[in-house]
Amino acid sequence: MKSSSAIHPNLVTKPFNKEDLVLDPLEVYSLLGYPDGKNPPTKVLTTLTELHSYALELFQPMSQYTIAPIESVDFQNHTVTLTGEKTFLGEGIVEALRYSTQAAIFLVTLGHPIVEEIERMNRVDVSKGFFLDVLSSVAVENLAEQIHLEIARLVFEDGWYVGHRYSPGFCDWDLTQQRVLFSLLKSSLLSVELTDHCMMVPRKSISAIVGLGRRREEMAISPCGNCKRTDCMARREDYMNLLYQSEGTHGSL
């Protein structure tokens, strides 16, 4: 049994300033299908620039997170139980939270209007629908990164470090675990719902759990290092080092 005190037990829900979303062009090009070092031709760049401004008008970024103590980690039965008897199941998540005594659970979304517009655009001009979809994917990933970082800053003040983020559907973590994750949040405040098959609506949303621990070196361990899927798009390199070492970006971290 692990013991620890809750540090920020309350649910935080707030809008995110869309002007602060960073859409890295290289990530956009990569998702569009261009190999490293290859930039799109002018006709594609022109359309992307137009759609970027349009997408910004439609984004309604919101975030929500909570932090809860981890009551127990059962390596035999592959379960992690948080306060309130919320139990996650999965071999990977047990490994991911091996050194954590708290967990942050968060949900971010770009809102409904952008997704509705992507769907409309797909009926009219699928190439523009594709570009808008890619821009939104990069935007929502950046939103998740920034909320992850916000949580890292918050808990750092109390001497905690954050680990990598995990989302149901990735790293072989069963998508049905989304229901446990959502039970710890109030997703209705963000107008995000789960379908019967545990997909999020609107789809440009990301939910995740992040372990918190006292020892930075333990939290810095990347589970991707042991993963056999070397071509995985979600593979994370020395993320933790970036998080805690780039002082220019992250202040006192």
Partner 1 sequence: MDLFEDLATFVIEGNAPKTKELTTQAVKEGLSPKDILENGLLAGMKVVGEKFKRNEYYVPEVLMSARAVHAGLEILEPLLAAAGVEPVGVVVIGTVRGDLHDIGKNLVAMMLKGAGFRVIDLGVNVPAEKFLSAARNHNADILAMSALLTTTVVNMKEVIELFKRDSFPAKVLIGGAPVTEGFARQIGADGYARNASLAVEAAKKLLGITA
Nearest CB to partner 1, comparing residues 189 and 199: 199
Residue 141 interacts with partner 1 (CB under 8 A)?
A: no
Total interface residues for partner 1 by CB under 8 A? 27
Largest interatomic CA distance in the chain:
59
Q: What is the DSSP string of 202-213?
A: SSSEEEEEEEEE
Site string for partner 1, 91-130 (x = CB under 8 A): -------------------------------x--xxx-xx
Residue 89 interacts with partner 1 (CB under 8 A)?
A: no
Is the bond leading into 202 cis (omega within 30 degrees of zero)?
Answer: yes
Residue 169 interacts with partner 1 (CB under 8 A)?
A: yes
Residue in the structure block whose two tokens are 């929500």: 64
Angle between helices 25-32 and 126-156 (to 10 degrees): 130
Fill in the DSSP letter of residue 109. E
| Alpha helices, H only, the chain | 25-32, 42-58, 91-96, 112-124, 126-156, 178-183, 216-219, 239-245, 247-250
Q: Looking at 7, 32, 221, 253, which residue binds partner 1 (CB under 8 A)?
A: 32
Residue in the structure block whose two tokens are 């859409």: 23
Residue in the structure block whose two tokens are 């062009």: 25
Residues 187-216 that bind partner 1 (CB under 8 A): 195, 197, 199, 201, 203
Helix or strand run (H / E) with residue 87: strand 86-89
Residue 38 interacts with partner 1 (CB under 8 A)?
A: yes
Nearest CB to partner 1, comparing residues 153 and 223: 223
Residue 83 interacts with partner 1 (CB under 8 A)?
A: no
Q: How far apart are CA 62 and CA 59, in angstroms?
A: 9
Helix or strand run (H / E) with residue 73: strand 62-74
CB 231, min distance to partner 1, A? 11
CB 241, min distance to partner 1, A? 29
- Which token pair is 234? 């979600």
- Contact stretch for partner 1 (CB under 8 A) within 52-60, 85-93, 167-175, 241-249: 167-175
Q: Looking at 59, 88, 106, 131, which residue binds partner 1 (CB under 8 A)?
A: 131
Q: Looking at 9, 15, 33, 113, which residue binds partner 1 (CB under 8 A)?
A: 33
Q: Which residue ranges make up the site for partner 1 (CB under 8 A)?
A: 32-35, 38, 40-41, 43-44, 47, 122, 125-127, 129-131, 133, 169, 172, 174-175, 195, 197, 199, 201, 203
